[in-house]
Amino acid sequence: MQCQPLVKKIISRIENWSSKLLSYARRSQLIKSVLFDVQTYWSQVFALPQKVLKLIQSACRVFLWTGKSGISKRALIVWKHICLPKSAGGWNVIDLHCWNQASLSKQFWNLAVIP
């Protein structure tokens, strides 16, 4: 419930874009540059629950394949394969679960290093 502003912000960004004419590569770039930046800001401060991460991931997945916000089961490639690096055949999209853990680990490291 406390993370609903994050989910609403991401969905409102998707709804504001007129992406019906965008290719998959351009939608992927929007996801990488805009949507994950919003999530990154939040994940550096809070440990986001798995449910919130799944909602964000599903909103990004639906936007990538359909260009809309909402619910869709249409997917051309499994999301975990999209998160793989380009050298492994993926699209180099950030895995939200790993990113959240890494950014929190960075904060713990900063707390431990500062005297």
**pLDDT tens for each residue of 38-96:** 888 888 878 888 898 888 888 888 888 888 777 777 777 888 888 899 899 888 888 88
What SS3 class is residue 23? Answer: coil
Q: Name residue, tokens 């950030």.
A: 94
44-53 CB contacts, 8 Å cutoff, 24+ apart: 44/103, 44/104, 44/106, 44/107, 45/107, 46/3, 47/100, 47/104, 48/3, 48/6, 48/100, 49/3, 50/97, 52/3, 52/6, 52/7, 53/96, 53/97, 53/100
Number of separate domains in the chain = 1
pLDDT over 70 at 19, yes or no: no
Pull the structure tokens for residue 62. 């639906």
Q: 109: domain range? A: 4-113
- Position 88 scores a pLDDT of 92
| Averaged pLDDT for residues 10-28 | 81
